[in-house]
Amino acid sequence: MVISAIGQGFLWGILGLGIFMTYRILNFPDMTTEGSFPLGGAVCVTAITNGVSPILATLLGIVAGMCAGFVTGMLYTKGKIPVILAGILVMSGLNSVMLFIMQTPNLSLLKQPKIQDFFTKLNLPDHFDIVLLGLIAIVIIVALLLFFFFTDFGQAYIATGDNENMARSIGINTDRMKVIGLTLSNGVIALSGALIAQNDGYADIGKGVGVIVIGLASIIIGEVLYGEVTFIERLVAIVLGSIIYQLLILIIIKAGLDTTYLKIFSSIILALCLMIPRLKEALNLKTGLEKEE
């Protein structure tokens, strides 16, 4: 089951990277996540059950996520609705959208083609198909992100989150950056939703509940564990954080603890990780989280 946890870690790591794009870089929490994540799965699975190839279906899932993020962005920048509220509105609305798309709250992929079939057919040891799928997906996403953030456009994007006033005064259209950030990040989030739906074998309108915690856990664990890092290292740290989180969950299950308590244990782990900077401060150690106010 360790291999399975690692594979899951890769897939959930994509979620972490998506959330990172808005939460850490633009400095606001995006609640759309809990809607765009299952939306990616819903669109993808619906497409597959309608004969679309898994890869194309996954791409459709990404596009759906981007549309959701775009709507949140518009509500936020043009409608002047506070970003958390805008995200919640979109997230709630997506529930109905998904029901409309799937025509049922739960759609199964049993006996349907899935994107991991290519790897499953290779008859590798258990769960290595997901590990390979996840690894390839991560490498692609990280490469794209690295490319993006080191362009002039990407630099302006980072500046928007770092100091919005300064960004505007050097000519950056910060509203546009926010919309683009929400659009792209929810596309990435929907991608993880689509891949995980195919891994689990079904899409369900309730799959988004609690995913923000998982995504944040990946980011926070990565930051807390690895200290001061360059940008590339930060992205890798998020993926590693995701894997570690899945392994921690595995330890809890193996320790025989009733899975009823899984959710509260997840929250406790996350809370502890969030408090580690405080603890380290108290003990006079350094973390990578120091930021000038």
Partner 1 sequence: MKNKGIIGSIIALAVVLIGVFAYQMGSRQTDATANKEEIKTVGILQFISHPSLDQIKDGVIEGLKKEGYVDGENIKIEFLNGQGDQSKLNSMSQQLLEKNSDVLVGIATPAAKALANATSDKPIIMGAISDPVGAGLVTDLKKPGGNVTGVNNLTPVDQQLDMAKEMFPDAKTVGMIYSSSEENSKSQIERAEKRATKDGLTVKKYAISSSNDIAQITQQACQETDYLYIPQDNTIASAFQTLINESDKAKKPVFVSVDNMAKEGGIATVGQNQYDLGVETGKMAADVLSGKSKPADTPVNVIDYGDMIINEDKAKELGITIPEKIKEKAEVVKGE
Partner 2 sequence: MNALEVKNANKTISNGVNDQRKILNSVDLTIAPGEFVTVLGGNGAGKSTLFNSISGSLLLDSGTVSVMGKDLTKLSEEQRATSISRVFQDPKMGTAPRLTVAENLGLAEKRGQKRRLRQRQLNQKKEMYRELCKLVGNGLENHLDTPTGFLSGGQRQALSLLMATITKPDLLLLDEHTAALDPKTAKQLMLLTDQRIKEQNLTCLMVTHKMEDALHYGDRVIVMGKGEIIKDIHGEEKKQMTLADLFLLFEEGETVAEVM
Binding site residues, partner 2, CB under 8 A = 147-148, 150-156, 158-159, 162-163, 165-174, 291-293
Options 1, 56, 144, 285; binder of partner 1; rule CB under 8 A: 1
The answer to whether the CB of 3 falls within 8 A of the CB of 158 is no
Judged by CB under 8 A, the stretch of 33-41, 50-58, 61-69, 122-130 that binds partner 1 is 122-130
The alpha carbon dihedral of 65, 189, 249, 198 has a sign of positive
Give the H or E element holding residue 175. Answer: helix 174-200
Q: Give the burial class of 271: count Cβ atoms within 10 A of its Cβ; 0-12 exposed, 13-18 middle, 19 or more buried.
A: exposed
Q: Is 257 in the site for partner 1 (CB under 8 A)?
A: no
Q: Which is nearer to partner 1, 67 or 244 (CB)?
A: 244
Q: What distances in angstroms separate CA 219 from CA 45, 132, 240, one per listed residue?
A: 28, 22, 9
3-state secondary structure of 107: strand
Amino acid letter for position 51: G
Which position has the token pair 């258990």?
126
Of 102, 30, 57, which Cα lies nearest the Cα of 194?
A: 57
Q: What letter would DSSP give residue 260? A: G
Q: Which is nearer to partner 2, 106 or 163 (CB)?
A: 163
Partner that binds at residue 106, options partner 2, partner 1, none, CB closer than 5 to 8 Å by kind = partner 1
Partner that binds at residue 104, options partner 1, partner 2, none, CB closer than 5 to 8 Å by kind = partner 1
Q: Is 3 in the site for partner 1 (CB under 8 A)?
A: yes
Q: Give the burial class of 151: count Cβ atoms within 10 A of its Cβ; 0-12 exposed, 13-18 middle, 19 or more buried.
A: exposed
Residues 287 and 280: their CA atoms lie apart, in Å, by 7
In the complex, the smallest distance separating the C-beta of residue 175 from partner 2, rounded to whole angstroms, is 9
Partner that binds at residue 158, options partner 1, partner 2, none, CB closer than 5 to 8 Å by kind = partner 2
DSSP secondary structure letters along 13-28: HHHHHHHHIIIIIS--
Options 63, 84, 93, 105; binder of partner 1; rule CB under 8 A: 105
Residue 13, Cα to own-chain centre: how many angstroms? 7
Q: Is 4 in the site for partner 1 (CB under 8 A)?
A: yes
Options 27, 259, 268, 286; binder of partner 1; rule CB under 8 A: 259
Q: Which is nearer to partner 2, 258 or 293 (CB)?
A: 293
| Residues 215 to 234 in contact with partner 1, rule: CB under 8 A | 225-230, 232-233
Q: Is 23 in the site for partner 1 (CB under 8 A)?
A: no
In the complex, the smallest distance separating the C-beta of residue 171 from partner 2, rounded to whole angstroms, is 3
Residues 43 and 91: their CA atoms lie apart, in Å, by 15
Q: Is 57 in the site for partner 1 (CB under 8 A)?
A: no
In the complex, the smallest distance separating the C-beta of residue 148 from partner 2, rounded to whole angstroms, is 7
Footprint on this chain of partner 1 (rule: CB under 8 A): 1-4, 6, 99, 104-106, 108-112, 124-126, 128, 131, 200-202, 204-207, 225-230, 232-233, 236-237, 240, 243, 253, 259-260, 262
